[in-house]
């Protein structure tokens, strides 16, 4: 009797041990392994350091601009009126010439990319893995895609680039890129299987797990690069996907030309840049040595100069900075 009354009272007071209809979410780090937690912490520190460096660079750029402005004003103030006017006119003419040159280069780029839609090698970035990545990893992949587009636009014979499975957060982050809506690139919400439903036999998924080595690029084929950062968590996922879909696979002939210090897996931008260089030079070795960082090669491979689908973050090399600093509104 007492037990029944006590239970009734608890129910009235809302003290019954029933499931909480709005349970507090378990912190993400608690559901991760120790390895994953360390990696997440490392990534967070990297992002923080990167943001700090970006802010410092912005401040430095502002200081440099202010210094140059003062130097210019001082230079003008020290000149007689007639020489000052000549110098100003000369500067205006140089600026006009630069603008005309940029406009001409932009027009040529648009023409090349438009032509590539008709005759260029089809290369697809498969974006259907976004649900497996963190926000920062998606951001990293977006940066890689931006670099791919910039490099392709500089090629004398660019490829016909595709983004398939472009939706959700991936699409949202891409849309934030300056001028993305004007990019001359195919943007498909649907998968490549649907986009090329009538050409399934022509699809070739590039994956380091394939036993087939790619020796030549076939202009009739559609080469697919998996858009996935940090493939260590998802080993063999692209190979498995291709097998389930019944499409061809292949891997770049890296092992025939150099020894890697780790796996033969590269970032999306590295794979696409290698393909673009090979399209222009027909030289695998030269393409590999120009694109693959020295840190990923053994000491014996030291000539010149991130898996085949995607890993690592985009490296802040000077070459890459120059690429990304160019306006991408065309």
Average confidence (pLDDT) over 106-123: 92
The rounded distance, in Å, linking the Cα atoms of 118 and 128 is 25
Q: Are 138 and 170 in contact (CB under 8 A)?
A: yes
Q: Which residue has the higher pLDDT, 111 or 17?
A: 111
Strand order across the beta sheet in which 222-226 lies: 186-187, 160-164, 122-126, 222-226, 203-206, 248-250
Contacts of 88 (CB under 8 A, 6+ apart): 76
Average confidence (pLDDT) over 81-90: 86
Q: What is the CB neighbour count within 10 angstroms for residue 206?
A: 26
Q: Which residue has the higher pLDDT, 254 or 104?
A: 254
pLDDT at 108 over 60: yes
CA angle at residue 209 from 139 to 303, to 5 degrees?
Answer: 75
Q: Are 312 and 164 in contact (CB under 8 A)?
A: no
Residue 92 corresponds to which tokens in the numbers above?
A: 């205006």
What percentage of the chain exceeds 90 in pLDDT? 49
The answer to which of 42-46, 63-67, 251-255, 316-320 has the lowest mean pLDDT is 316-320
Listed in sequence order, the DSSP H helices in the chain are: 2-12, 34-77, 81-119, 135-154, 168-175, 192-195, 237-245, 268-281, 284-291, 318-325
pLDDT for res 42: 82
Q: What is the CB neighbour count within 10 angstroms for residue 213?
A: 12
Residue 110 corresponds to which tokens in the numbers above?
A: 């648009």
Match 């926000």 to its residue by tokens. 135
pLDDT for res 104: 83
Residues 132-149 as b/e (b if ≥16 CB within 10 A, e otherwise) read ebeebbbbbbbbbbbbbb
The answer to which of 61-65, 105-109, 181-185, 321-325 has the lowest mean pLDDT is 321-325
pLDDT for res 103: 85
Helix axes 168-175, 135-154, angle to 10 degrees: 50
Residue 127: band (very low, low, confident or very high) from pLDDT cuts 50, 70, 90: very high
Known catalytic membership, residue 330: no
Q: Are 141 and 240 in contact (CB under 8 A)?
A: no
pLDDT at 21 over 50: no
Residue 257 corresponds to which tokens in the numbers above?
A: 């030309």
Where is 255: in which H helix or E strand? none
What percentage of the chain exceeds 70 in pLDDT? 78
At residue 254, the 3 state secondary structure works out as helix
CA angle at residue 300 from 294 to 301, to 5 degrees?
Answer: 40
Q: From the candidates 126, 230, 309, 312, give the one annotated as an active-site residue.
A: 230
Residue 221: band (very low, low, confident or very high) from pLDDT cuts 50, 70, 90: very high
At residue 203, the 3 state secondary structure works out as strand
- Burial label, 153 (beta-carbon count in 10 A; 0-12, 13-18, 19+): buried
Report the CATH fold assignment for 120-296: Alpha/beta knot (3.40.1280)
Q: What is the reported pTM? A: 0.70
Contacts of 208 (CB under 8 A, 6+ apart): 251, 263, 264, 265, 307, 308, 309
């Amino acid at each position: 009797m007492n037990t029944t009354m006590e239970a009734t009272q608890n129910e009235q007071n809302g003290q019954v041990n029933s499931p909480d209809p709005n349970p507090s979410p378990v912190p993400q780090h608690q559901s991760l392994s120790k390895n994953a937690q360390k990696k997440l912490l490392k990534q967070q520190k990297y992002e923080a350091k990167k943001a700090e460096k970006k802010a410092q660079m912005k401040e430095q750029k502002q200081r440099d601009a202010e210094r140059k402005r003062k130097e210019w004003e001082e230079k003008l103030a020290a000149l007689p009126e007639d020489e000052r006017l000549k110098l100003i006119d000369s500067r205006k003419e140089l600026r006009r010439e630069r603008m005309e040159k940029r406009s001409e280069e932009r027009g040529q780029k648009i023409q090349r990319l438009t032509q590539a839609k008709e005759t260029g090698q089809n290369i697809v970035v498969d974006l259907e893995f976004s649900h497996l990545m963190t926000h920062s990893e998606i951001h990293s992949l977006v940066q890689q895609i931006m670099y791919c587009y910039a490099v392709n636009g500089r090629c004398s014979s660019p490829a016909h680039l595709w983004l398939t499975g472009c939706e959700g957060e991936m699409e949202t982050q891409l849309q934030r890129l300056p001028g993305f809506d004007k990019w001359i690139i195919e943007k498909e919400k649907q998968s490549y299987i649907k986009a090329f439903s009538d050409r399934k036999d022509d699809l070739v998924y590039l994956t380091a797990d394939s036993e087939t080595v790619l020796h030549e690029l076939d202009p009739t084929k559609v080469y697919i690069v998996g858009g996935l950062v940090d493939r260590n968590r998802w080993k063999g996922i692209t190979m498995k996907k291709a097998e389930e879909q019944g499409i061809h696979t292949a891997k770049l002939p890296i092992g025939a030309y150099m020894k890697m210090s780790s796996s033969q897996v590269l970032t999306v931008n590295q794979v696409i840049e290698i393909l673009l260089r090979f399209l222009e030079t027909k030289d695998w070795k030269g393409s590999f040595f120009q694109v693959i960082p020295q840190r990923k090669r053994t000491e014996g491979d030291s000539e010149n100069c991130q898996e085949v689908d995607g890993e690592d973050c985009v490296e802040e090399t000077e070459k890459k900075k120059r690429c990304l600093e160019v306006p991408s509104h065309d």
